[in-house]
Amino acid sequence: MKLTPGAVGMPGTTSPNRTGDWRVSYPVFHNEKCGGCRLCEMACPEGCVTGDPKAKHFEFDPYYCKGCGICMAVCPVNDIEMAQENR
Amino acid sequence: MRKVMEGSMAVAEAVKACKPHLISAYPITPQTHIVEFLASMVADGQLNSEFVNVESEFGAASVVLGGSAAGARVYSATTSQGLLLMNEVLYNIAGMRLPVVICAVNRAVSAPINIWNDQQDSISVRDSGWIQLYAENNQDAMDLHVQAYRIAEDHRVLLPVMVCMDGFVLTHTFEPVELLDQEKVDKFLPPYKPLFHLTPKQPVTMGMFAGPDCYMEFRYMMQQAMERSAAVIEEVAEEFARIFGRYTGGLIEQYQVEDADTVLVSMGSLVETIKDVVDAERANGRKVGCLKIRAYRPFPAKQIRQALSRAKRVAVVEKCVSLGATSPVAADVKSCLYSTTGGPEVSSFVVGLGGRDIPTDTIRAIIDQVETGQTDLTYMDLQTDWLEEEVSA
Amino acid sequence: MSAQATFSPLAPGHAACTGCGEILAVRLALEAAGPNVIVTCATGCVEVTTTRYPQSAWNIPFIHSLFENSAAVASGIQRALAAMGREDEAKVIAMGGDGGTADIGIGCLSGMLERGDDVLYLCFDNEAYMNTGVQRSGLTPFDANTSTTPVGKVSSGNQTRKKDMPWIAASHGAPYVAVATPGYPRDIERKVQKALTFKGPKYIQVHSPCPLGWRFPSDKTIEVAKMAAETACYPIFEIVNGELTGVRKLRNRKPVTEYLKMQGRFRHLLRPEAAEEVARIQAIADENAKRYGIDL
């Protein structure tokens, strides 16, 4: 481990952590009824939902997604479903 | 140019010459005059610093921590209760390796409340990772402030420095001092170049969480920085002497120690009194000397061991105590002599707590006492009849 | 990451709990603030989960000092930037939890507000000392079950009301004060951006539901936040130059039971014997509604 005087850390160095390993369920983005409101993107605590509001298409990043289900809960058109992890 | 001025003013002049970007302090006697003079200088446009009035010493220390982290040169001053209140932040500043400089005006600690001089306050934070330099007189106090920034900001060190000066005895006493020439200070003290600082141009994270896997290494790095600082302290003192023409730094000072049988060890303004007694006793044929500890942290063990190697008896005289044990400076001195065979007897003396005057006769009495034998811990000049009364009540 | 934002203040891979309301609120607030910021943070969940050496999730300059001095450190940074002629380089934002703001940190916060330092203070209110195990704080609501105000045979939980921090900040003369919630995520962004147009000290308190501490399933974070606002348990408003404004009004204010029943920390109030306690909480909500003119 490289040690800096005063334990000073560098930006974005948590990126290698696969927090996706935590989850027991994951969101399925059907992208059928999506209205492009972006609420799922805003509501994700990890910031791992991305997409194109014009194309009305959103997806999650499985490397980081902790499976909390907030995106499913906030979607106003019920276009997201939570599925069980089978690993 | 020589001028007679109050110790606090001398310190304010020194700080002004160092051009700190940010000053933050909270009033507490007897530090008040230092910050009042600085506030006045800022108000008159003589000193171009941000002067931040705060809600407590804890706030003051936190404000200078933030300022230093942002890459600024900073200053604060406090004493006694204020220093104790800052305790948490002092450890934080040192752990973050920020080169903050403060003046710790030495004053007794409460309870009972007492505003006069002793060294209990700065001694109580000796483990914090701050370099501690003790001023003997007002010239020292001035010069040490300038050297403090050089030492702290050196990338081999990057530890905060506390310049300790005796409250009232030095801060409120008018003495002639040699003023600092601004051009020379600018030559001696270049602008602060941080190793890391907070800026969106190059983001870093400071004050991280370190688990059992690496915390110990970070603390060890501070130990190493302390050890390296000893050499830096001497280097800086030598350069200061070259530029300003006087040697007012370094780790220790030996006053007639070389052939002394009895050596008194002390720190701060008391050293001047002891030197007077040394002169008088030498005239009477007693071979006594005075070892001044200038840098208490890092503790100059090697230098002290070497200086005391020929002495038969050592009296450590200090204005503080570690209640329940011995006296802190004496403990450090004894500890560094422990491994030497045939070393001197070391006796420990507590004087002047709460600003109790220390007349030259008391120093003489200490010399007399050690010449009759070693004692572990003696409080000098106690009103023993009052104490007997208390016990019998 | 917001589609509009080209930068992300917080990288993923940090250890915040699944469904954490606080980290969500932090992300929303700091995305709105942009990359030219310097952030201070009090000891608590945020710094513990995002800055374990050698890994830091922070893509922006970030400093954690102590528990109680986030506001003072921020003041120092801001004044130092001014002294060095670097004021335009960054906005200074101080963050703290409810404990670090209203309890142990109130002295330093008061000083920062009183001095008028140009700092935005964000209080992330998860209503207890969550990082140390859900102990009560000065912002713990009435009758909440916490580990230091536990529900027992002779106690129905915390017996004090929330310290009124927004008005305390306004009384200091802060030109912009606001309350926000992840129940309305865009409102958090709007308020942060609005705050940053003011010079001087700003205070925004953001309700931060904690799935672990409040005991609700991790997907309910935003619903719980919204319900707090919709029952007037957590009024949403602004105070601009001392005047109350921007109150989130409600057409059909819901009864407090709708909010209480969502969370395990209020489960003891669902028993019929607890009707009196529920009435007391309803009275607080009614008082909020009246005070802020919430009911349409």
pLDDT digits over B129-187, tens only? 999 999 999 999 999 999 999 999 999 999 999 999 999 999 999 999 999 999 999 99
* CA-based nearest residue to C255, from C232, C223, C272, C226: C232
* CA-based nearest residue to C108, from B55, B153, B66: B55
In a domain, C10, yes or no: no
Buried b (16+ CB within 10 A) or exposed e, B52-82: bbbbbbbbbbbbbbbbbbbbbbbbbbbbbbb
Q: Beta-carbon neighbour count of residue C34 at 10 Å?
A: 18
| Contact check, Cβ <8 Å, B221/A3 | yes
User: Which chain B residue lies closest to A10 (C-alpha atoms)?
Assistant: B204
Which pair of tokens denotes residue B294? 């200038």
State the pLDDT at residue B342. 85
pLDDT digits over A37-63, tens only? 999 999 999 999 999 999 999 999 999
In a domain, C16, yes or no: no
Q: Which residues of chain B lie closer than 8 angstroms to C119, CB-CB? A: none
State the pLDDT at residue C2. 43
In a domain, C8, yes or no: no
pLDDT digits over C21-80, tens only? 999 999 999 999 999 999 999 999 999 999 999 999 999 999 999 999 999 999 999 999
Q: Per-residue pLDDT averaged across C243-259, rounded?
A: 97
Residue B118 phi/psi, 5° resolution? -155, -175
pLDDT range class, residue C1, cuts 50, 70, 90: very low
Q: Per-residue pLDDT averaged across B57-67, rounded?
A: 98
In a domain, C89, yes or no: yes
State the pLDDT at residue B391. 61
Residue C4 has pLDDT above 60, yes or no: no
State the pLDDT at residue C6. 61
> Shortest CB distance from B208 goes to which of C56, C60, C111?
C56
Task: Count up the domains in chain C and report the number.
Answer: 1
Residue B102 has pLDDT above 70, yes or no: yes
State the pLDDT at residue B390. 64
Residue B392 phi/psi, 5° resolution? -80, -10
In a domain, C281, yes or no: yes
Q: For residue C127, what are the domain limits? A: 21-292
State the pLDDT at residue C182. 97
Residue C105 phi/psi, 5° resolution? -95, 5
Average pLDDT score over chain B: 96
Q: Which residues of chain A lie closer than 8 angstroms to C218, CB-CB? A: 68-70
Fold classification of A36-82 (topology level): Alpha-Beta Plaits (3.30.70)
Buried b (16+ CB within 10 A) or exposed e, A33-47: ebeeebbbbbbbbbb
Q: Does B207 touch chain A (CB under 8 A)?
A: yes
Q: Does B55 touch chain C (CB under 8 A)?
A: yes
CA dist C9 → A60, B66, B180 (Å): 19, 20, 47
pLDDT range class, residue C3, cuts 50, 70, 90: very low
% of chain B exceeding 70 in pLDDT? 99
In a domain, C3, yes or no: no
C221-230 vs C21-33: helix crossing angle, rounded to 10? 80
Rounded Cα distance, A80 and A76, in Å: 10
pLDDT digits over B322-364, tens only? 999 989 999 999 999 998 888 899 999 999 999 999 999 999 9
* CA-based nearest residue to B162, from B240, B91, B220: B91
| Contact check, Cβ <8 Å, C73/B69 | yes
| Domain ranges, ordered by start, for chain A | 36-82
State the pLDDT at residue B341. 85
Which pair of tokens denotes residue A63? 């490397």
Residue C285 has pLDDT above 70, yes or no: yes
Please give the domain boundaries of chain B with CATH numbers for all domains: 2-244 (3.40.50.970), 252-392 (3.40.50.920)
Describe the strand order of the beta sheet including B161-166 as a list of residue ranges.
B50-53, B22-25, B74-79, B101-106, B161-166, B131-134, B295-297
